[in-house]
Amino acid sequence: MIDFPAQVRQDSVTLSWTAPKDSGNCPVTNYVVEHRPVGGFQWSVANLRQTVARPSYTVTGLRADTAAGHEFRVSAENKVGQSAPSDVSEPAKYGIYAL
């Protein structure tokens, strides 16, 4: 579950989430953070070339002109594989501090 964004800026959002309760006896080695414009169909990986070892991340490079904002989801990775993605977050939009 993705928590309320700690910070929403014009081109970035800082997210935090709850680590999985069960990781199959293998520690989580990376979180895959994805985003899309609200109403979009294609997810983009925010941390494609970066390992996210803790349950928080700042997604950068977001388009401020996206009228409805952005949605986010997170998957956990370990040596066994990648989990199913989390539920989709509520929309986050710059200038609106309510999700």
What are the structural domain ranges in the chain? 7-82
- Token output for 10: 């014009």
3-state secondary structure of 90: coil
The beta-strand segments (E) located in the chain are 7-8, 12-16, 30-37, 44-45, 56-60, 70-78, 81-82
Strands 56-60 and 44-45, sheet pairing:
unpaired
Whether the CB-CB separation of 19 and 52 falls below 8 Å is answered with no
The model's pLDDT over 28-84, given as tens digits with 9 standing for 90+, comes to 999 999 999 998 999 999 999 999 999 999 999 887 767 678 999 999 999 999 999
Q: What is the pLDDT of residue 27?
A: 93
Nearest residue to 58 (alpha-carbon basis) of 19, 7, 2, 98: 7
User: What is the pLDDT averaged over residues 82-96?
Assistant: 84
Angle at 84 between CA 37 and CA 8, to 5 degrees: 35
pTM for the full predicted model: 0.87
pLDDT exceeds 50 at position 99: no
Q: What is the pLDDT of residue 5?
A: 59
- Domain 7-82 matching CATH 1.50.10.20: the answer reads no
